[in-house]
Structure 1
Amino acid sequence: MKKIILIALLGLFSQQKTNAQGCSDAGFCTLTFRPAKAGWGKELKRNGVTVESSYNIGEEQTSVIGLAIQYNRSIGRTLTWSNKLTAANMHGSFGNAFNAGDLYSTISFVPGKGRTTNISLLAGVKIPFTRSNDKINGVSLPMVFQSSLGTYDLIAGASFLLSKWDINAAVQVPLINDNRNSFLSAYSPIPGFLSTNLFERKADALLRIGYPLTAGSKWTFNPNLLGIYHLGKDSYENVMGKRETITGSDGFTLNANLQVKYLMANNRSLQLSVATPLVVRDSRPDGLTRSLVISAGYTFGW
C-alpha cells in the first residue's frame, strides 16, 4: 500500500508543464456523484457539511485560493440533495481580487432500495454570483482573476462501480451566458493573457476512472484519471465588435488525481486531493489553467 501511494504522489509531482491546463472550478470536477461510495467509509448521516480550501497555480503564475462549503441532505435512502457555495481569492501580476463564485445545486439518485447498487445518477445546476467582470482600479481583468465564469449551467452525470473500478461520466452545458468580462489583451498593461471580452464558453464532457483502495479501517485512497473534452471553440468580441472564435480552445485534457480520505469518530472525516494535468489543450481562455491543484476538506454529519 505504501508503495502504491508513493508511486501515485511521485507521478503527480513530477509533472512540470509550464502553463499546463487542468480541471478546476468549472463545476463538475469536484461534485459528489455518489452519496456513499463503496470503499469510502460508512453510510453518511442524514445531514452532512463539508468545508474545503484549495491552492491552485494558474496561468502566468497566478495563485488562486479557493473556498467552498457544501451541505448534503439525504432524503430516504435513494436521494441526496447537495448545495455547494464557492468563493476565490486570486493574486498575481494584476494585483489581488476576491469575490463569491457560484452555487452548485444537485440531486443524486441511487436506483433500488438502498445504496448498495452499483449505479447512481446526478442532475443539477450552476448559478453564478458574478458576471465575471471584476476590476482592479478600473482595469479590466482576465478570466483567471474572476471567481465565476458567469454562466448558468446544466449538469448531468452518472457513476458506475465495475468490479473495483469507480467510473464517473458527466456533461456540463452553459444554458444562459451572463458573462460581461471586458478584458482585451490589446489594451492590457500586462501581456500573457488571452482576450475574453464578452466571453462565451462551450460545454464540457467528463470521464473519471478511479481505483479506490483501503488501508485499515480509517484510510481510503482513490488514484484516478480525469479526462475532459471541451466540445467546441470558445469565443469573444474583438475591438471591432465582431465575435471571434479562439483557436485551440476545444479538445481534450487529461488530469492525474489522487484523493485521500481519513475517517474519524462521530461521523467526521478529513479529505486531501492533489491533481495535475498530463495532456493539455493548446488554449484555455476561461482562466481555469492550472499546473497544480491541492485541496483539503473537513466533513461532519449528524
Structure 2
Amino acid sequence: MRKISLLFFVIIFLSLKSYSQGCSDAGACSVESLNFSLSEEETTSNLRLNLEQTIGLGEKFVFISQTTAGIQYKITKSSSLELRVPFIYVYGNLGHSAGVGDLLLSLNQRIVKGDNSSWNAIFATRLKTNDANKSYDGNPLPMAYQTSLGTYDIILGTFYQLKTWDFYFAYQHSFGNNQNSYLQPINITEDKKLYYESNLLKRGDDLYFRGRHHFKLKNNNHLTANALFVYRLQQDEIFKNGKYVDLAGSEGLTVNLALTYSKNLKKNRKLEYTLAFPIIDKDYRSDGLTRNIVLGIRIINL
C-alpha cells in the first residue's frame, strides 16, 4: 500500500509540473470515464447503475465538477446498451455555469470471445443538451465554461481484451457548428481573462487509441495504468471578421495518462479512484476540453 501511495504522489507531482498542457477528448477528460468493456465483473442482473464524480482544473485553472450517472442494460449475453447522463458545474474568473451535459448513448456488441480474450464493436452517439452558448452577466462564455459541446457526434470503435491488457480504437465525428459566440474582448488585455476563441466552433474529427494494463493486488483488487492517445485530424474552425477561419495548432496529438485503483465491495460492487493528466497536447484548444489534472471516484453496480 505504501508503494501505491508513493506512486500516486509522484504522478500528482508530474501532472502539476505539466500544467501548461491540456487533456482534450470529446468524451470525458478522465480517461477512465468511458469504459466500454461489456462486463467488469460477473453479475446476474441485466441492469447496472454506476455513479461517478470527477473534479478537474481546466483552461486558466477553471474549476470543473462533473457528476455522471450511468445506466447499463444487458440486452443479450453478448451485447449491452448504456446511457450516461452528466451534470456539470464550472467556476472561473469569468463567472460560472451549470447544467446537464451532453448525453452519451452507446451500444456494445461482442464479436468474439475466447478463454482469455474478447473482441467488441462499439457504436455510440453524443447528444447535445444545449447550443454551447451560455453567458454570464450578459457576456458570452468561452467553451471552457460550457456544459455542452453544442453538436451531435457519432463514435465508432472497437475494443480488444487479452488477459490483463485491453485496447480501444475509435473514430469520432461531430456534425456542424455549435452556437458559441465567444471572441476575445478588445477592451480586456489581462492574459488570465483571455480564453481560446470559439465563435460558431466546428471541431475536427478525432481518432482515439487507448491501452490499459491491469495489475492484480490482494483481495482481488486492481491497479490499472492507462494511456489515451487522441489525434485531431483537421484544424478546428471559427467565424471571425466575417468569415470562417482555420485555427492553427488545433489539430494534432494529445496524450493523457491515468492511474486507477479498484476495490471490490460486497454484492459485486466496485469502488474506483482515478487520477488523470496530460503529457502532450495541441497548441490551440478552442473546444474547452483542456484539463490540467482530473481526480475521480466511481462506484459500479449500485
Q: TM-score, normalised by structure 1?
A: 0.90
Match of 1:36 among 39, 55, 60: 39
CA distance in 1, matches of 2:22, 2:144: 12
Displacement after TM superposition at 1:300 (Å)? 2.2
2:188 aligned with 1:185: no
2:184 aligned with 1:208: no
CA distance in 1, matches of 2:65, 2:278: 18
Query: Counterpart of 1:256?
Result: 257
Q: 1:228 to 1:25 in 2, by over 3 A?
A: closer
**Number of equivalenced pairs:** 296
After TM superposition, list the pairs within 5 Å mapping 1:1-302 onto structure 2.
3=3, 6-7=6-7, 9-15=9-15, 16-23=17-24, 26-27=27-28, 29=31, 30-37=33-40, 41-43=41-43, 45-112=45-112, 117-177=117-177, 179-187=178-186, 189=188, 191-238=193-240, 240-300=241-301
Displacement after TM superposition at 1:94 (Å)? 0.8
Bigger shift: 188-197 or 22-31? 22-31
Paired residue secondary structure (2:21):
coil
Q: 1:132 to 1:187 in 2, by over 3 A?
A: farther
Displacement after TM superposition at 1:129 (Å)? 0.3
Deviations 1:252-285 (A, max 9, x none): 0111111221111113221111111111111111
Paired residue secondary structure (1:70):
strand
CA distance in 2, matches of 1:78, 1:42: 13
CA distance in 2, matches of 1:102, 1:25: 10
Bigger shift: 264-273 or 105-114? 105-114
Paired residue secondary structure (1:171):
strand
Paired residue secondary structure (2:11):
helix
Contact 1:22 1:290 survives alignment (8 Å):
yes
Q: TM-score, normalised by structure 2?
A: 0.90
Structure 1: where are the runs of 5+ without partners?
none
Paired residue secondary structure (1:118):
strand
Displacement after TM superposition at 1:186 (Å)? 3.3
Q: 1:77 to 1:186 in 2, by over 3 A?
A: same
Contact 1:12 1:256 survives alignment (8 Å):
no
Q: Please, what is the CA RMSD of the aligned residues?
A: 2.2
CA distance in 2, matches of 1:284, 1:291: 13
Q: 1:75 to 1:26 in 2, by over 3 A?
A: closer
Structure 2: where are the runs of 5+ without partners?
none
Contact 1:100 1:129 survives alignment (8 Å):
yes
Q: 1:163 to 1:298 in 2, by over 3 A?
A: closer
Q: 1:12 to 1:109 in 2, by over 3 A?
A: farther
Q: In structure 2, give the amino acid aligned to 1:144.
A: A
Displacement after TM superposition at 1:25 (Å)? 5.3
Q: In structure 2, give the amino acid aligned to 1:182.
A: S
CA distance in 2, matches of 1:163, 1:115: 9
CA distance in 2, matches of 1:197, 1:44: 49
Displacement after TM superposition at 1:90 (Å)? 0.6
Contact 2:176 2:202 survives alignment (8 Å):
no
CA distance in 1, matches of 2:158, 2:182: 36
